[in-house]
Amino acid sequence: ATPMSVMVGVGKAAEAGVLIRNGAALQTAAKITAMILDKTGTITQGAPRVTDILASEGFEQDQVLRLAATLESGSEHPLALAILDSARESGLEPGKVSHFDAITGQGVQAEVEGKTLLLGNERLMRDRGIALEGAVERGQGLAAEAKTPIYFAVDQKLAAIIAVADPIKADSVAAIRRLQQSGIRVVMLTGDNRATAQAVARQAGITEYFAEVMPEDKSAKVQELQGQGEIVGMTGDGINDAPALAMANVGFAIGTGTDVAIESSDVTLMRGSLHGLADAIAVSRATLRNIK
């Protein structure tokens, strides 16, 4: 394509709220054969909310929620914000935290009021030797409803399962269908558990997904598809996504996402909608078709 036609294409995309950083990205976008989509905040709204608190025998819902919120006051993870919001809405004041520690891709731990608290996924509980008994089945039941089960242990004993839901964006299904109809292989990528990932993927109309991917392994998934001969687009919003966005042939950031994701990307979707992906690819293909 001529420099002039590329400029026109970049301008057209901008009118649709799609900011393309450079002409090379516009030209590569036409050749994308596979698109990896992060789940949380990319396919979903990214504003998770607590829906269920299943307290174990000997624990009260409010007590569990207040302790969990106290623990999460040290975290900026979207799941932490959901738990803090829920506590606030119930009028619960978080207490004081000490020895706070985030376990990347798994959860958080701290000392609160002389108790040792641990909050996170099933794997974290298993790693720390927390007895789960029937809890895993209950967690799986929540996951089948596309909710994320978070396990909460107090002094090495399972105190509750807290379920968090993060609905998909209203137009994600239609936008994903447009990508698929233009011949692109769409793959979902998430750190979330397999059962929740499967339920969300199904809602989104995606058959292929990678679940339980640790943040540092997201870019390896991009390379894996590139190794299969795919020209890979990656779309994400989080700090965790930045290396994968940089590794992809074209990185797309959600405009409402983190600065790091935007800086690591070639394209920014200002409207936050995944329709921007199909728009960008359509403009790119038209640009290359018209002027060869």
Decide which of Mg ion, ligand ADP, none touches 197; Cβ closer than 5 to 8 Å per partner kind: none
Which residues, listed in sequence order, are joined to residue 244 by a DSSP beta bridge?
A: none
Interface pick for Mg ion out of 34, 36, 40, 269 (rule CB under 5 A) = 40
Count, residues near Mg ion per rule CB under 5 A? 5
Neighbours of 39 (CB within 10 A): 27
38 is catalytic: yes
Minimum distance from residue 279 beta carbon to Mg ion (Å): 21
Interface pick for ligand ADP out of 215, 256, 263, 282 (rule CB under 6 A) = 215
Q: Which residue from 55, 94, 88, 92 is spatially nearest to 71, judged by alpha carbons?
A: 94
CA distances from 252 to 216, 218, 256, 275 (A): 18, 15, 12, 12
User: Contact at 8 Å (CB) between 61 and 175?
Assistant: no
Question: Rule CB under 5 A: is residue 238 a binding residue for Mg ion?
Answer: yes
Decide which of Mg ion, ligand ADP, none touches 237; Cβ closer than 5 to 8 Å per partner kind: Mg ion
Minimum distance from residue 254 beta carbon to ligand ADP (Å): 13
Q: Where are the alpha helices (DSSP H) in the chain?
A: 3-15, 23-29, 61-72, 78-89, 122-127, 135-144, 172-181, 194-204, 218-227, 242-247, 259-263, 275-290
Question: Rule CB under 6 A: is residue 29 a binding residue for ligand ADP?
Answer: no
Question: Rule CB under 6 A: is residue 284 a binding residue for ligand ADP?
Answer: no
C-alpha torsion 180→32→190→254, nearest 10:
-100
Question: Rule CB under 6 A: is residue 169 a binding residue for ligand ADP?
Answer: no
End-to-end, the C-alpha distance of the chain in Å comes to: 5
Biggest CA–CA distance in the chain, Å, is 71
The stretch near Mg ion (CB under 5 A) out of 81-89, 202-210, 231-239, 260-268 is 231-239
- Residue 266 C-beta-side C-alpha neighbours within 13 Å: 24
Decide which of Mg ion, ligand ADP, none touches 235; Cβ closer than 5 to 8 Å per partner kind: none
Question: Rule CB under 5 A: is residue 191 a binding residue for Mg ion?
Answer: no
The stretch near Mg ion (CB under 5 A) out of 112-120, 132-140, 238-246, 266-274 is 238-246
Question: Rule CB under 6 A: is residue 107 a binding residue for ligand ADP?
Answer: yes
Q: Which is nearer to Mg ion, 40 or 268 (CB)?
A: 40
Strands 147-154 and 115-120: antiparallel
The stretch near ligand ADP (CB under 6 A) out of 15-23, 89-97, 102-110, 139-147 is 102-110
Interface pick for Mg ion out of 192, 237, 266, 279 (rule CB under 5 A) = 237
Cα(109)–Cα(152) distance, integer angstroms: 10
Minimum distance from residue 126 beta carbon to ligand ADP (Å): 13
Decide which of ligand ADP, Mg ion, none touches 106; Cβ closer than 5 to 8 Å per partner kind: ligand ADP
Cα(107)–Cα(75) distance, integer angstroms: 9
63-99 burial string, b = 16+ CB within 10 Å, else e? Answer: ebbbbbbbbbbbbebbbbbbbbebbeeeebebeebee
Instruction: State the catalytic residue, choosing from 38, 241, 266, 279.
Output: 38
Q: Using CB under 6 A as the criterion, which residues of the chain lie in contact with ligand ADP when the complex forms?
A: 39-40, 72, 75, 77, 79-80, 105-108, 119-121, 148, 150, 190-192, 215, 240
Active-site positions read 38
